[in-house]
Amino acid sequence: MRAPVAPVMSAFAIAIAVSTASAAASERGILDYKVYFGGFPALALEIEIGRTSEEYDISIGLRTLGVIDRLFPWTMRAYSRGRWAGAEVRPEAAGQTSAWRGRRRLVDVRYQDGRPIVARVVPPPDRDGRASVAAADVAGTVDLASAILSLSLAAEAGRGCARLVPVFDGRRRYDLVVEHVGFEPIRRFGQAGPARRALKCRVSMVRRSGFERDPDHGAKDGGRRTALLWLARAGEGLPPVPVRIELETRWGLVIAHLMRVRAAPAGAAPGLASGRP
């Protein structure tokens, strides 16, 4: 059986970053999350965002912790950059590098006239036990981080969290579906003080093609993974960001908490401290 960490992290990567790309309008901001499984810390996640009036740059770093790290070591780094206007995004490049129990995987995508072109992918899909993705199916898609940014921009503009975005990540084609649930009071993890009013959203990844040909890989509802997240203001001048995320899996409940929000070091180059893939 595969570890419960890797199969659910696609949904967490979707949920955690919704609305975070607005966290730094003309500077760079970093969001630090810790993910718990069965009450124990399982993952550390760091999202760095830069945005100007026309361009965006997002970097994501993830690594396993504690017992999970000893049993199922996993690291992942992802990036995305492009241009934006209103709530529309135009990605220019995106990619990801990961190491799962010593096995390295990578993908880089470039965009030409708005269409994704896979520059490199290791291992190739035909050697990775995956169904192929038809060329016609990727038309009009964006990468995951750019999809997240479009959701963030829509939420920032007061359009709520109801949206569907088609995504192609270089291997898989799926739809990112975000639904409005309501408002609830919530308190930041480990912090005292009054609870803040949070927007509660349901985030789902609906599989289309390019996924592993493993009938036991995915949810019972045909591969639709769903997470709940709570968006609230984490500080003065910040837009609502996810402060809590919950994902029910067949192994149990996985919960992510926003631990801190910080500014990127002055003069630091784009990308997380240990570099981009």
For 11-70, the pLDDT digits (tens) are 455 455 444 544 444 457 788 899 998 888 999 999 887 878 889 898 889 999 988 888
Contact predicate 229/240, CB 8 Å: no
pLDDT over threshold 80, residue 269: no
3-state secondary structure of 172: coil
- DSSP E strands, 65-172: 74-85, 88-100, 103-112, 115-122, 163-168
| Residue whose tokens read 């967490």 | 12
Query: Is 14 part of any domain?
Result: yes
Tokens of 257: 């908490």
Count of domains forming the chain: 1
Choice among 34-38, 185-189, 196-200 with the minimum mean pLDDT: 185-189
Contacts with 49 (C-beta within 8 Å, 6 or more apart), sequence order: 20, 21, 22, 23, 24, 28, 29, 30, 31, 56, 57, 58
Query: Is 47 part of any domain?
Result: yes
CA atoms within 13 A on the CB side of 156: 22
2 backbone dihedrals φ, ψ, rounded to 5°: -70, 155
Task: Return d(Cα 152, Cα 165) in angstroms, integer.
Answer: 12
Query: Is 156 part of any domain?
Result: yes
pLDDT digits (tens, 9 = 90+) for 66-95: 888 888 899 999 999 999 887 788 999 999
Query: Is 195 part of any domain?
Result: yes
Query: Is 148 part of any domain?
Result: yes
Number of residues that make up the chain? 277
Contacts with 181 (C-beta within 8 Å, 6 or more apart), sequence order: 200, 201, 202, 228
Query: Is 270 part of any domain?
Result: no
Query: Is 275 part of any domain?
Result: no
Count of helix runs (H) and strand runs (E) in the chain: 3, 13
Instruction: Print the domain residue range for 231.
Output: 5-263
Task: Return d(Cα 85, Cα 142) in angstroms, integer.
Answer: 15
Tokens of 4: 């419960």
Tokens of 275: 């570099």
Query: Is 271 part of any domain?
Result: no
Whole-number percent of the chain with pLDDT over 70: 76
